[in-house]
């Protein structure tokens, strides 16, 4: 009888302990910053993925892995936006951002002109809409290049941030980093910086690996898409020149025309004189 009377008591104590633990964990979670919440969610989903994979729930584990990746990338993007916001608050930061945008835009238009030239074998300025279209498609390549530069610049910055956090003495921080202003401390700051460094290193390695293997393939896709756009949007089905049925025409200088057509082998363009 004594054992049966004690069982409800222990059950109630266990439920009470679970409730207090849940409330404590939730209170800690609400104190986290946005990027910390992203990383915590990613970590929990990775743990759930590991359990599902261990017990052979392949479909569920695949979904959990994708959600974990989404939260992980969300944490990285949140960190990058925070750095960008701090950087853009200063006049010099604004100037650097505008300079990068100007250089990137000029590079995209110039490279798009090279793509169009390789397609038509002539003056790409005759096809401004195709050049603009190709420059938009080149955004991922520019993003890879920009991220690589940002990655190289941010690594020493992250090391400095790590030193700031690991250095507990405020006077030492001011001495080591002139201009340092004390900020309210966030919880789990050291753990967060460790996760950020690991995440940023993995993400940078992934972008670099993709850039090495995927840029050439993507560049060929940009060329194919630009060829389609040129043939269907900037060339004409009718003209006074003698062309075969199904061919399209664009008018060039000095009485020349660009003839384009598509067959089973892809897109073809030929620059020739206008024959009537």
- Tokens 């910053």, residue? 33
Q: What residues have CB less than 8 Å from 35, skipping those under 6 apart?
A: 75, 78, 79, 82, 192, 196
Of 204, 191, 105, which is closest to residue 150 (Cα–Cα)? 204
Of 107, 100, 215, 95, which is closest to residue 146 (Cα–Cα)? 100
Same domain, 66 and 83: yes
Same domain, 69 and 181: yes
Same domain, 98 and 161: yes
Burial of 45 (0-12, 13-18, 19+ CB in 10 A): buried
Answer yes or no: is 151 within a domain.
Answer: yes
pLDDT in tens, the chain (276 residues): 444 555 566 777 778 888 888 888 888 888 888 888 999 999 999 988 888 888 877 777 788 889 999 998 888 888 888 878 877 888 888 888 888 888 888 989 999 999 999 998 888 999 999 999 999 998 888 877 777 776 777 667 666 666 666 666 666 666 666 666 666 566 677 777 778 778 877 777 777 777 767 777 888 899 999 999 999 999 998 888 888 888 899 988 888 889 999 988 889 999 888 887
Answer yes or no: is 6 within a domain.
Answer: no
Same domain, 53 and 117: yes
Answer yes or no: is 264 within a domain.
Answer: yes
Same domain, 196 and 67: yes
Answer yes or no: is 64 within a domain.
Answer: yes
Answer yes or no: is 170 within a domain.
Answer: yes
CA distance 3 to 185: 50
How many domains, the chain? 2
Same domain, 109 and 132: yes
Answer yes or no: is 119 within a domain.
Answer: yes
- Considering Cα of 205, then 167, then 41, then 60, what sign does the dihedral take? positive
Same domain, 225 and 266: no
pTM of the model: 0.67
Of 124, 140, 112, which is closest to residue 211 (Cα–Cα)? 140
Do 260 and 235 contact (CB within 8 A), yes or no?
A: yes
Q: Where are the alpha helices (DSSP H) in the chain?
A: 2-30, 34-54, 58-88, 91-120, 128-137, 139-166, 170-176, 189-233
Q: Which domain holds residue 250?
A: 238-276
- Kindly list the distances between the CA atom of residue 112 and the CA atoms of 122, 172, 218, in Å, as whole numbers in the listed order: 14, 51, 13
Answer yes or no: is 259 within a domain.
Answer: yes
- Kindly list the distances between the CA atom of residue 43 and the CA atoms of 36, 59, 75, 99, 104, in Å, as whole numbers in the listed order: 10, 19, 11, 38, 36
Answer yes or no: is 5 within a domain.
Answer: no
Same domain, 142 and 178: yes
Count of residues making up the chain = 276
DSSP 207: H
Same domain, 231 and 253: no
Burial of 228 (0-12, 13-18, 19+ CB in 10 A): middle
In sequence order, the β-bridge partners of residue 245 are none
Same domain, 268 and 228: no
Please tell me the predicted confidence (pLDDT) of residue 129: 94
Same domain, 89 and 202: yes
Same domain, 259 and 185: no
């Amino acid at each position: 009888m004594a054992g049966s009377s004690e069982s409800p008591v222990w059950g109630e104590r266990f439920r009470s302990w679970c409730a207090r633990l849940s409330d404590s964990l939730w209170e800690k979670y609400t104190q986290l910053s946005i990027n910390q919440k992203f990383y915590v969610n990613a970590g929990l989903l990775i743990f759930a993925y590991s359990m599902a994979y261990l017990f052979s729930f392949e479909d569920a584990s695949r979904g959990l892995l994708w959600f974990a990746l989404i939260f992980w990338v969300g944490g990285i993007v949140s960190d990058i936006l925070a750095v960008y916001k701090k950087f853009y608050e200063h006049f010099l930061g604004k100037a650097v951002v505008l300079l990068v945008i100007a250089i990137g835009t000029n590079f995209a238009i110039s490279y798009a002109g090279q793509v169009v030239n390789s397609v038509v074998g002539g003056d790409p300025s005759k096809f401004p809409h195709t050049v603009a279209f190709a420059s938009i498609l080149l955004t991922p390549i520019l993003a890879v290049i920009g991220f690589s530069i940002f990655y190289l610049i941010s690594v020493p910055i992250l090391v400095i941030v790590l030193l700031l956090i690991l250095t507990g003495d405020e006077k030492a921080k001011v001495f080591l980093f002139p201009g340092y202003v004390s900020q309210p401390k966030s919880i789990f700051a050291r753990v967060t910086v460790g996760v950020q460094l690991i995440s940023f290193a993995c993400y940078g390695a992934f972008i670099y690996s993709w850039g090495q293997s995927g840029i050439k393939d993507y560049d060929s896709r940009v060329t194919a898409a630009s060829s389609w756009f040129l043939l269907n949007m900037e060339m004409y089905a009718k003209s006074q020149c003698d062309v075969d049925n199904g061919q399209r025409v664009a008018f060039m200088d000095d009485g020349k025309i660009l003839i384009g057509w598509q067959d089973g082998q892809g897109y073809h363009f030929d620059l020739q004189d206008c024959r009537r």
